[in-house]
Copies of this chain bind each other. A is one copy, B any other.
Amino acid sequence: MESRPVSQAVEDYVKAICLLEQQEGKATTKALAVALDVAAPSVTAMIKRLHAMRLVRHTRYRGVALTPSGRRMALEVIRHHRLLELYLVEALGLPWDQVHEEAERLEHVISEELEERIAERLGHPVADPHGDPIPTKGGEVDQSAYLPLSELNPGTAAVIKRVADQAPAKLRYLGDLGLFPEVRVTLLEKAPFGGPMSLEVGETRCTLGGDLARQIYVLPVESL
């Protein structure tokens, strides 16, 4: 019954499976290979190990699904990751485009004790700097669904709730424009067919491409 500590690789796999299940509805070998930047046969090999550890169920050629204990592990890692991202921004002033990479490594090595201190210091926050929900210790995740900024009607005001793009360069760009979660914006004009839109952010205005706008999720102010 000796269960030795789980490796970083295993944690990254269950985390990736969990995120894929949420975002795509299922986790395939290919999607995991892309997400983790490894070759497909490496994924197949790891899936066998994860199955032996009872962390996933696997149907050949059909992808994997987390077991309850796999999900518990994944949410624990995701909680670490998002708490760390927020801590690095709030307590140490790291820019929001650098914290993902840092948290990617730190998430595997902090103790439960340290996790708790960080959560306490932050006032038990519910979202990370990008607006992604922080799972509770009990494994609950806020499921609120928001509207892509690209779907907002011109003339409407809304509060940014989530920035789904991870790419540092894009985050830096959005940061320069002042587009963070909890910031209020007003959509002025929108070109058709997913074209660019012009926004009012505080005192200033800016133009945003359709691709970026599709990655920004908002809550229209009427809904408040």
Contact = CB atoms under 8 A, between A and B. Distances in A.
Interface of A: 88, 91-94, 98, 101-102, 105-106, 108-111, 113-114, 117-118, 121
A77 B101 CA distance: 20
* The 7 A-B residue pairs with the shortest CB-CB distance in the complex, in nearest-first order: A105-B109, A92-B117, A106-B109, A102-B111, A109-B109, A102-B114, A94-B117
Contacts of A109: 105-106, 108-109
Given A94-B114, A98-B113, 11 more contacts: A91-B91, A92-B118, A92-B121, A94-B113, A94-B117, A101-B111, A105-B110, A106-B106, A106-B110, A108-B109, A109-B109
23 contacts: A88-B114, A91-B91, A92-B114, A92-B117, A92-B118, A92-B121, A93-B117, A94-B113, A94-B114, A94-B117, A98-B113, A101-B111, A102-B110, A102-B111, A102-B113, A102-B114, A105-B109, A105-B110, A106-B106, A106-B109, A106-B110, A108-B109, A109-B109
A214 B88 CA distance: 40
Contacts of A105: 109-110
A177 to B, nearest CB: 23
A122 B109 CA distance: 22
A95 to B, nearest CB: 9
A113 B105 CA distance: 14
Nearest to A108: B109
Contacts of A117: 92-94
Contacts of A92: 114, 117-118, 121
A202 to B, nearest CB: 28
A109 B113 CA distance: 18
A65 to B, nearest CB: 30
